[in-house]
């Protein structure tokens, strides 16, 4: 889940650095970034030809894959670097199956990182997302907080049940990985 844009530099889990365009924590409390409307695609390493699943394609984006390639797809333990205009903006490490990051893994950007379970190259299951001084620890589904989790920020500690990136209930609207306006 890549962040596209928001008001404080942050990450939308699925390419959160250049996807981590901005992170907003205001009194309404929002760790936000716009979602991509583009569907995922496979992208090939120009040097090896090995393909990787890209859930959130960006323009002028390339990759460097260090690991095994089976039938043209990343397979097994490896390291993936995402570049935009030739500059590294994300490094992913862990396991790949048929070109997709799976199992326990990490995704790191200049302003933060995700460590935890990954399915189809996006956070799914238990994990920790850290962006600057903010930290979400809990359940993810499709790259967004979903289930029981805790957001710790300069604005406080927010515990509870999350749905599609929004904390359910409570006095404040809180969003992680989605625009605050999508939270009812």
CATH number of the domain that residue 101 is part of? 2.20.110.10
Q: Would you say residue 112 lies in a domain? A: yes
Check: CB of residue 124 under 8 Å from CB of residue 131. Answer: no
Q: Would you say residue 80 lies in a domain? A: yes
For the chain, give the mean pLDDT. Answer: 82
Check: CB of residue 17 under 8 Å from CB of residue 110. Answer: yes
Binning pLDDT at 50, 70 and 90, where does residue 22 land?
very low
Question: Taking 50 as the threshold, does the pLDDT of residue 109 lie above it?
Answer: yes
Binning pLDDT at 50, 70 and 90, where does residue 170 land?
confident
Q: Determine phi and psi for 120, rounding to 5 degrees.
A: 55, 40
Q: Would you say residue 59 lies in a domain? A: yes
Question: Taking 90 as the threshold, does the pLDDT of residue 23 lie above it?
Answer: no
Q: Would you say residue 42 lies in a domain? A: yes
CA 142 distance to own-chain centroid: 9
Q: Would you say residue 180 lies in a domain? A: no
Q: Would you say residue 138 lies in a domain? A: yes
What are 113's strand-pairing partners?
Answer: 108, 130
Give the pTM: 0.80
Q: Would you say residue 10 lies in a domain? A: no
Q: What is the pLDDT of residue 35?
A: 40
Check: CB of residue 121 under 8 Å from CB of residue 109. Answer: no
Q: Would you say residue 21 lies in a domain? A: no
Alpha-carbon distance 157 to 171, whole Å?
Answer: 13
Check: CB of residue 37 under 8 Å from CB of residue 26. Answer: no
Number of domains observed in the structure of the chain: 1
Domain that holds residue 149: 30-174
């Amino acid at each position: 889940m890549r962040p596209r844009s928001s008001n404080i530099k942050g990450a939308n889990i699925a390419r959160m650095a250049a996807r981590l365009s901005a992170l907003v924590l205001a009194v309404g409390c929002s760790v936000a970034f716009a979602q991509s409307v583009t569907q995922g695609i496979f992208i090939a390493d120009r040097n090896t030809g090995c393909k990787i699943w890209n859930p959130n394609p960006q323009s002028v984006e390339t990759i460097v894959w260090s690991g095994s390639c089976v039938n043209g797809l990343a397979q097994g333990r490896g390291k993936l670097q995402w570049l935009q205009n030739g500059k590294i903006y994300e490094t992913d490490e862990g396991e790949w199956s048929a070109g997709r990051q799976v199992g326990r893994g990490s995704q790191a950007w200049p302003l933060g990182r995700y460590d935890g379970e990954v399915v189809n190259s996006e956070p799914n299951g238990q994990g920790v997302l850290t962006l600057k001084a903010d930290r979400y620890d809990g359940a993810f589904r499709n790259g967004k907080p979903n289930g029981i989790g805790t957001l710790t920020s300069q604005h406080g500690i927010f515990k509870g049940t999350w749905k599609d990136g929004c904390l359910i209930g409570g006095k404040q609207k809180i969003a992680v990985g989605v625009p605050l306006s999508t939270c009812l």
